[in-house]
Amino acid sequence: MSAAPTPPVPRPLHRTVWRWHFYAGLFCVPFVLWLASTGSIYLFKPQIEAWIDRPLDRLTFDGPLAAPSAQVQAALATVPGAGFSAYELPQGPASAARVLLRAADGTTIRAYVDPARLTVLRTIAEEDRLLPTIARLHGKLGIGDPGSYVVELAASWAIVMIVTGLYLWWPRDGSGPAGVLWLRFTRRGRPLWRDLHAVIGFWASAFALFLLITGLPWTAFWGSNLRALRSYAAQADVRQDWTTRAAATTGHEGHGAAAVALGYDAAVLDRLLPVVVAAALAPPVLITAPSAKSPHWQAKSDSANRPQRVTLTLDAASGEVLKREGFDGKPLFDRIISTGIAAHEGQLFGLGNQLLGLFTALSLIGLCISAVVMWLKRRPPAVLGAPTAIKAARVPVALIVAAITLALLLPMFGLSLIAVLIVERVLLRRLPRTREFLGLAAR
């Protein structure tokens, strides 16, 4: 008579990591779905904006085009009390002129001007345009800095979710790569969903981690601390090429396009335009007059591919380029961050970058859907369905080290983890029904 099979011995490290993976996923899933959906739209910003503006880029002109200064004056006449902010070089020979104005209430207004008839075809606040709206929904949930903190918290826990997922599903004990590197289509039900979850996670995890990490410089807490560290290291208040708060929502964050020109001389704009055109900067290109932020006229590339951005400081009288600031002249730290942001937005290497970002976003959506399906299939009645804690199990040293490391790198995760542990030990474990529902071990 053969002996009964010995039940598997619970592995404290594996079970603990599984629990935190579960709780991280439970919190992150709604936000990951939101970020992946809005991010997928923003990836195709150039194509979407070109489609929206297509009637304004297919104009026909009966006569000669007016000087840029006259185009600016036509725009200023449409918005009483506004000041000149920037003139954007036309997208093409049949394009309306784009003039950025600063309204009396501080709003940045984009005016589209027929360059031949000097009629204003459309005006719209920059923050009301579709893609800036999507950007606010993506990075701040549409509620400003509080949303940025929530997004940072969700992104931090999503990083933890991916790292713990890689540990959980990594092939071990001779199980082989099936179900991790590829699907086993002979499986049905929850095992097939488990394979789908693991395979998607394995192939998309590196790209997902990249997107999450490169999104952190925009966040209110992590990004602000990064900026402070950067300024301290530079021993100066240095200007960076990305924002961390809702102060600049127009999409012209790095160059002060929203500043009102001081001493604006219309004739200078006409004189400088051929010089800027000849410089062949990456579009869109903005020409700005002297302002409180800069005593000189400037021409600035606002290319979404940030390594292509160049700023020219111009002499108003001669049109001479006094200074040229390009990507190569930036500190290494800035170049790394700017390259990461360009890749995050899908603009670093064209359509391939956009498709890779779309693949990652769809993979994250697939991970969320498969996780929810597995949870619903496994969840017993009347309980949350979290992996049960092992009574009296000591927390492995490796897990403590990993948690401390992640907490130092992701402060919002660290603070929230401490809060969760305190609430769990002080309150939740003392409530029998709550303890049972959450699958917590008794003290």
Distance CA 98, CA 92 (A): 12
Find out whether 164 and 21 touch, Cβ atoms under 8 Å.
yes
Confidence bin at 163 (pLDDT 50/70/90): very high
pLDDT reading at 35 higher than 50: yes
What confidence tier does 258 reach under pLDDT thresholds 50, 70, 90? low
For residue range 286-344, what is the model confidence (pLDDT) as tens digits?
A: 999 988 778 899 999 999 999 999 999 999 988 899 999 999 998 888 899 999 999 99
Most confident among 234-243, 294-303, 392-401 (mean pLDDT): 294-303
Contact (Cβ atoms closer than 8 angstroms) between residue 244 and residue 219: yes
- Confidence class of residue 251 from pLDDT cuts 50, 70 and 90? very low
**Which pLDDT does position 174 carry in this prediction?**
61
3-state secondary structure of 369: helix
pLDDT at 250 over 60: no
Angle between helices 145-169 and 221-234 (to 10 degrees): 90
> Is a pLDDT exceeding 90 seen at residue 7?
no
Q: Where are the strands (E) in 198-314, listed by range?
A: 285-288, 297-301, 311-314
Kindly report the CA angle at 423 between 417 and 424, in degrees rounded to 5?
A: 85
State the chain's mean pLDDT as an integer.
87
What is the structure's pLDDT at 256?
43
pLDDT confidence bin for 367, thresholds 50/70/90: very high
Counts of helices then strands in the chain (DSSP H, E): 13, 8
Predicted pLDDT of residue 189: 85
Mean pLDDT of 394-407: 86
| 116-141 pLDDT tens trace | 999 999 999 999 999 999 999 999 99
Give the model confidence (pLDDT) of 404-418 as tens digits. Answer: 999 999 999 999 999
Q: Is 170 left (phi over 0), alpha (psi -120 to 50) or beta?
A: beta
The pTM of this model reads: 0.88
* Residue among 348, 347, 266 nearest 43 (CA): 347
Q: Strand, coil or helix: what is 17?
A: helix
Separation CA 140–CA 246 (nearest Å): 8
What residues does 301 pair with on adjacent strands?
Answer: 285
Report the SS3 class of residue 25.
Answer: helix
Q: What is the pLDDT of residue 382?
A: 86
